[in-house]
Each structure stands twice: as C-alpha cells, then as structure tokens.
Amino acid sequence: MRVDPISKTASDVPCDFSAKYDDYCRQYHLLPLSSVKIKLDSGIIDLDTDTLRFDDWTPLCSAIGTCKTLRSLTLRSQYYNSSSNNFAEAERRTLKRASSASKRPPIFQSKELLSKICTHIKDSLLITTELVLLELDGLPFRRKDLTILAQGIAKCKSLIHFRLTNSSIGDEGLDILCRHLNQAPKIREVDFSACSLTSQGAHIIADLIRQQGNRRHTDVWKESLRHQQKESLPYQNPMLDHMSGLRRVTLNRNPLIADRGATFLAEVIEADLWIKALDLQDCAISTNGAKEFLNAANYNSLIHIIDIRNNPLVDRDIMEKLIEQLLVNCEDDRLCEYKWLKLESPRRPRSKIARTATTTAGANQPVHFHPRTPIDPTKLQRSKSTGSVSTEPRSDGIPWRTAARAARLPGFPPRLPTRAFHSSEESIYGAGGGGGGVGGGEFQQQQMKENSNSRIQRLENKLREERQAKKQLEEQLQQILAKNDLAQRQQDHFCAVVENTFQKFQKFLDFLRSKRLGELITMAGLDDAFTNPLDELRETSLSIANGSNTNHQSVIAEKSEERSQSSSSSSSSETTTKHES
C-alpha cells in the first residue's frame, strides 16, 4: 500500500492555484474545468489528460508554471496504458481502443503540446516551495522532454516523491533522469514502473545509489567531527535517517531486468546504509537473483523491504527465507517508515475463447468473461424433445457450440492450476487459494488459510527467538565493555602509583646530593636511578615501533657515559672540598 505523501507534509500556506487558473481562463475566454479544481483545496491536481481539448491546456499550463504553492501534481493518460491491475478494466480499454482505431489520439500526444507541458512543469519546479509529489503516468516522453523535466527536478528544493510510470523511456531516458536526480537535494522516492527498462537500466540505478552513498559517507565523516569552536566537546553522533537522498526505489513491471539487473542492485544494496525499500514485482527474476537479494539482506540489516513477488521463477523456499530475514531486519513493522506495496496482478493475454465471445456478442455489447471460472458439465443438458444440446444463453460468456465441443474432449472440465506462493493481493506471504469445485474450493481455501496461519505463526516464533538472542548478546556485550573499562581504570591507577613512587625516590636522591652525600649513592649502585624507568620503557616501545633499535641503544650508552662522568665529577668535587676543609 502506498502512503499518501501529502498528508505527511501538510503546510499552512494556502494554495493560490485556483485564483491564477480562474484569471487565465477569464483571459482566454474559457470556463474553468471542474476536474482541475476538485482537489485544489488541498493543493492537489490529479488530472486525466485524455479528455482535455487543446484550448484547455493553455490556461492550465500557464497556471502551473506560475504557481508556487501547489503540493501535488499528477497527470495520467490511459490511451497507451494497458497494464492495469484489474484484468477486466484492461480488456475494456483494449476493446475501446480497437473500436476507435480510426480516431485520432488525444491532443496532448502531439510533440509541441507535450514539450510545452514539460516546460511549464520545469518552471513550476524552479519556483515552488511546497511541491512534494510529481507523478506522470502513461505520457509518451521524448529525450528532449525528459531533459527539460530533469533540469527542473535537479533544482527543485521541495520535491520528495517522483513517479514516472507506464512510459517507454527506456535506458537512455532513465540515464538522462538519473544524471540530474543525483543533484536533487530532497528526493527520497522514485518510481519507474513499466518503463521498458533492461539490466542496463538497473545498472544505472545502482550507480545512482552508489554515488549518493559515497557523498553521504563524506557527510557522515564531517558531522562526526568535533565542533570547531568547542573542541572540549566529545565527537558528534551523525543522524543517518535525516540525511538527504533516496530511500525507496520502485521498478515494477520491467521484465527485461531479470537476474543480471538483480545482481547489480543486490551488490550496491549490500553496502548501502540508506536504502530502505526496493520493489521489483514482475521483473522476470529467478531463484538465482533471489539468492543474491537474500545474501544482501543477511549482510545489510538496514534494508526492510525487497519486494520480488509476482516473479514465478523464484523458488518458494527462497522467498520464505528472504521475507523472514526482512522481518528480522525490520524488528517492528509498525515503526517502519515504508510499507509493502499492494500486490499487482500479473498481465495475462486474452484467450481464444474470449476473442470468440467478443466476436459473437458484438462491439457494442460488453462481455464479462473470467478465464479461471470452471465450466459445470451439468449445464450441458440435452433437450428431451429434440435430443440436441440446449442453446439457452450461458451466464459465463462461452457460446453453447464451443461448450458442447469441449464437453466431448477427454479431461473436461480442465483442472485449474494452483496459484503461486506470492500471488495474493492481501498478504505479503501470498497465501492465495486456487479454484476447484463448489465444495472442494471451500475446503481448499480453508486448508490454504490454515497453512498460511501456521507459516506466519512459525515465522513470528522464530522472529521472537531471534530478538531474544539479540537481547542476550547485547547484555553480554555491555558486561564485557564494563569489565574492560574497570580493568583500564585499575591499570591507569597502578601506573600513576608507580610513577609517583619513582618521582619521590628521585627527589630523595636529589636531596642526598644536595647534602654532599653522593658517595653513598655511588656505593649503593644507584647511579642508574636518575631517570624514571617508565620513561625508558616508553622510549623503548617508541623506538621499536619506529624501527630504530640501534639508535636507541646508542642513546642509552651515551646517557650512561654522561651519568658516569657526572658521578665522577661529583665525587672529585667532594674530595676537593674535604681536602680544603
């Protein structure tokens, strides 16, 4: 599920888009569109561009380019967008587009108007202080248009969520955007779903994450230093979550990414400290790519979501291990900032029976056919009077002649394939039930529900054990650190006592010399006690570390010679004083 970004960043600044839009409409002698003004009280524009005329775009673009307080801008087009979550809706759009093939596409599909829209969006990005979300869905952008948009995104200081979906920009268009996204100061989420990306596009995203990670490591080093004016303060603790940069990357419905692109992304995520969520639904990833993500999740405990559902080639056991590790990383799902997205239904091609039903029913009559609905053989009853198959209209949309031919084939009705592990729309574990008969379906659904509950209970128990083990290890670590601290303090105290003792002994020897009793020191053999043995020990360790043992020995020899000379001179001076006395 997607979290509404506007609710989190509510502002007290009133939106002035409505007044500007009314002024421009009055200037061009046009009526304001209700679809534009329906959500302007919250500073939101969510517009279906397929229904707008050419004249409607002029005041709309002018108002967008001059508004500073707009908080969300969403432009959608369903003309080329056939990747719908609802299969029936996708079928309806396909039929509608086929019936109106002779008509012209929407007016905004022209190159001049699309370039004009991008230019005004760029102007808005350069001056806005409140725009948080920019979503462009199903628009056929060119490289020139993407360059204009990217220039505005790079200099926008308030944009946090950028979504460009269902547009065939390819790897070249993604490269243009990522070069400017690296300079964007506040963007935290990007969405490039269904953009015809390949493994090269995944490599471009990985390079973007790596470059931002290197820059943020530099910022961490700067923030960890002491304050320049207060050097007595301890080192600072940098706040990683408050740094700018990407936190979530969504690349759903790009089947050309495959395992090679998954490897690129897994390598960069393994060493990154800031990416929290990565969505790769329906990207043709197999078990090999899933293993790469599992290794990354085991190594990096800061990643909370790696969504590789809707990839039928992933082994079920690997998927369970990955989700289990992600739950351990997240610890508490309620405290996680980013949530799992809703599971998108995979696209399915139209069946031959559906095309036959469409031809029979006609273009104007809607046909509702569910490919997974089993056919009940009891409905194929022969008439008692004529002995032929009943031609009454069927509720499932299959012509009676086709059903009669299918009934004579062996293995009818067809056995429905069971759904994959990750094909549910409600749970991240994918505990969906397959279809069977009327009584068998309920039993199978109940059995699948029990299996999913037991699996969830097992994962929760293991998660609880992992947390308890982690807590015990942390307690042991604290005890070890406390013992080390105590031992260090005892060692420092002992060294201080020893050093104090030698200093007092040195003062005692100096006192004896001051009283002309140096001969007693020489007779006791205490000439070498003039220096502190701790100082000699430190000098010895430093000389060994620097690789100068020979020099140190020569220095010690010179010092001993000097001491002997000083002791002989002191003894001679004492004898002279005795003779004089």
| Sequence ranges of the domains in the chain | 71-97+104-222+242-329
pLDDT band (50, 70, 90) for residue 514: confident
What pLDDT, on the 0 to 100 scale, is given for residue 324? 92
Give the Cα separation of 193 and 251 in Å (integer): 5
* Strand partners of residue 46: 74
pLDDT in tens, 417-442: 444 444 334 444 444 444 444 445 56
Highest CATH level, class, for 71-97+104-222+242-329: alpha beta
Strands (E) located in 69-160 = 72-76, 133-137
Would you say the C-alpha torsion 124, 126, 132, 133 has a positive or negative sign? positive
Residue 78 predicted with pLDDT over 90:
no
Give the Cα separation of 219 and 233 in Å (integer): 19
Enclosing H/E stretch for 93? helix 87-99
> What is the mean pLDDT of the segment spanning 125-135?
93
The percentage of the chain sitting over the pLDDT mark of 90, rounded to a whole number, equals 34
- Strand arrangement, sheet containing 161-165: 44-48, 72-76, 133-137, 161-165, 189-191, 248-250, 277-279, 305-307
* Strand partners of residue 170: none
Q: What is the DSSP string of 450-518?
A: HHHHHHHHHHHHHHHHHHHHHHHHHHHHHHHHHHHHHHHHHHHHHHHHHHHHHHHHHHHHHHHHHTT-H
pTM of the predicted protein model: 0.59
Give the Cα separation of 122 and 153 in Å (integer): 7
Query: CB–CB of 304/277 below 8 Å?
Result: yes
Residue 435 phi/psi, 5-degree rounding, is -95, 140
Buried b (16+ CB within 10 A) or exposed e, 303-322: bbbbbbbbbeebeeebbbbb
Looking at 34-48, 304-318, 359-373, which range is the least confident one?
Answer: 359-373
Give the Cα separation of 278 and 250 in Å (integer): 6
Average pLDDT of the chain? Answer: 75
What pLDDT, on the 0 to 100 scale, is given for residue 65? 92
For 9, the 3-state DSSP assignment is coil
* Strand partners of residue 161: 133, 189
Closest C-alpha among 241, 183, 239, 171 to residue 208: 183
Query: CB–CB of 289/263 below 8 Å?
Result: yes
Mean pLDDT comparison of 109-113, 166-170, 221-225, 364-368, highest-scoring range: 166-170
Cis peptide upstream of residue 413 (ω within 30 degrees of 0): yes
Give the Cα separation of 66 and 70 in Å (integer): 10
Query: CB–CB of 326/265 below 8 Å?
Result: no
